[in-house]
Chains A and B, each alone.
Chain A
């Protein structure tokens, strides 16, 4: 099989996932397109570094992420964020009734996700939307497994907090 067929067959099926990640990291459609385009150039150039076909998705997502942060487009909010104490869940009683309305809830979720610090948002998106394994997230975001877990947990707490401490969310946090 020629190189272009391999690249087409193995890497390009993940183009939507790559673009989606860029959308959430950049919070902007045209910036996301630019970053993904640069990432594809890198991916072609470094195709020989892809060790196993099965790793194509996390491999491409890692390149996209680096392009979003490293390509002089945007700085990671802060890596020291892991030191910030967790926020407390707000009182269940404070939850507005309108939160049960589906479209308002969805709107609030999107706003809350967009407002997350970069390191929490990327971890959350990779896990919940891209369905990456913890190991894959650790590789893509270049941090230890334990950091992935704590970021994920902190992202969920933040979201639950922003959404008014919905019972079901709080329960999931365990």
Chain B
């Protein structure tokens, strides 16, 4: 049996290549997750409600004693819940990088190898200092997807601990320094020269602070 040749490559492809229906199990999972989005939404809505209440209270306080309101409002800023999501995602990504044998795509202690590797993979040039003298040997780097964007991940060692340093172009919401702990992991955040940095490790928070100082002081 012969058939007319397809009119175009596109037609031929659509003829030959099947589109797939998601398996029932996957569909059920997706719907269940959509329901859990309600839970998250409700939780955020409740938080927002509490924030509004706190904000109103802060205004009263500000009138009463002046100055304090500004601080309370900063603390209650609208980005709080988004930042908590970010912190959880950074820790998830850190943990998975250790579990899945995918810590580095480029494995080298030589920053002349690691830095050029990122060219064309991330839309910025991360600074890759060697911090061996300060006790943080460079292990390598890889590309990650964090917080809805592509990030460079630099990997440093600290004794038996691993430090993941996530880097992406800073936006307004990245401004300011911050430290946090989540599930036993320490995080330190800073911005410098238009880039946002998040260091994550199971090392002690003080070690991570030392890492930030070492990194920052090695940046020109």
Contact A100 B3 (CB under 8 A): yes
Give chain B residues whose Cβ lies under 8 Å from the Cβ of A70. 143-145
Q: Which of B10-18, B59-67, B124-132, B181-189 contacts A (4 or more CB under 8 A)?
A: B10-18
Q: Which of B24-32, B68-76, B202-210 contacts A (4 or more CB under 8 A)?
A: B24-32
A72-106 CB contacts (< 8 Å) to partner B:
72, 75, 79, 100-102, 105-106
In the complex, B85 has a CB within 8 A of chain A: yes
Chain B's closest residue to A160 (CB) is B9
A172 to B147, CA, bound (A): 40
Contact B150 A142 (CB under 8 A): yes
Contact with B along A147-174 (1 / 0, CB 8 A): 0000000001001100000111100100
B1-51 CB contacts (< 8 Å) to partner A:
1-3, 5-10, 12-17, 19-23, 25-27, 29-31, 33-38, 40-42
A172 to B27, CA, bound (A): 38
Give chain B residues whose Cβ lies under 8 Å from the Cβ of A100. 2-3, 5
Chain A's closest residue to B120 (CB) is A79
Contact with B along A8-44 (1 / 0, CB 8 A): 1001100111111001100000001100110011001
Give chain A residues whose Cβ lies under 8 Å from the Cβ of B160. none
In the complex, A132 has a CB within 8 A of chain B: no
Min C-beta distance of A75 to chain B, whole Å: 7
Chain A's closest residue to B25 (CB) is A33
Contact B40 A44 (CB under 8 A): yes
Min C-beta distance of A44 to chain B, whole Å: 5
In the complex, B148 has a CB within 8 A of chain A: yes
**A-B residue pair count with CB separations less than 8 angstroms:** 131
Contact B38 A4 (CB under 8 A): yes
A8 to B17, CA, bound (A): 27
Min C-beta distance of B117 to chain A, whole Å: 11
Give chain B residues whose Cβ lies under 8 Å from the Cβ of A4. 34-38, 41
Give chain A residues whose Cβ lies under 8 Å from the Cβ of B1. 101-102
Give chain A residues whose Cβ lies under 8 Å from the Cβ of B29. 37, 40
In the complex, B193 has a CB within 8 A of chain A: no
A36-68 CB contacts (< 8 Å) to partner B:
36-37, 40-41, 44-49, 66
Contact A169 B9 (CB under 8 A): yes
Contact A3 B37 (CB under 8 A): yes
Give chain A residues whose Cβ lies under 8 Å from the Cβ of B31. 8, 12
Give chain A residues whose Cβ lies under 8 Å from the Cβ of B42. 3
Contact A72 B105 (CB under 8 A): no
B61-98 CB contacts (< 8 Å) to partner A:
82, 85, 89, 96
Q: Which of B2, B16, B38, B121 contacts A2 (CB 8 A)?
A: B38
13 CB < 8 A contacts A-B? A2-B38, A16-B19, A24-B17, A37-B26, A40-B26, A40-B30, A72-B102, A75-B105, A100-B5, A105-B3, A105-B12, A129-B14, A167-B5
Q: What is the interface of chain B, defined by CB distance below 8 A to chain A?
A: 1-3, 5-10, 12-17, 19-23, 25-27, 29-31, 33-38, 40-42, 82, 85, 89, 96, 100-102, 105, 120-121, 143-145, 147-148, 150
Q: What is the interface of chain A, defined by CB distance below 8 A to chain B?
A: 2-4, 7-8, 11-12, 15-20, 23-24, 32-33, 36-37, 40-41, 44-49, 66, 70, 72, 75, 79, 100-102, 105-107, 109-110, 113, 124-125, 128-129, 142, 156, 159-160, 166-169, 172
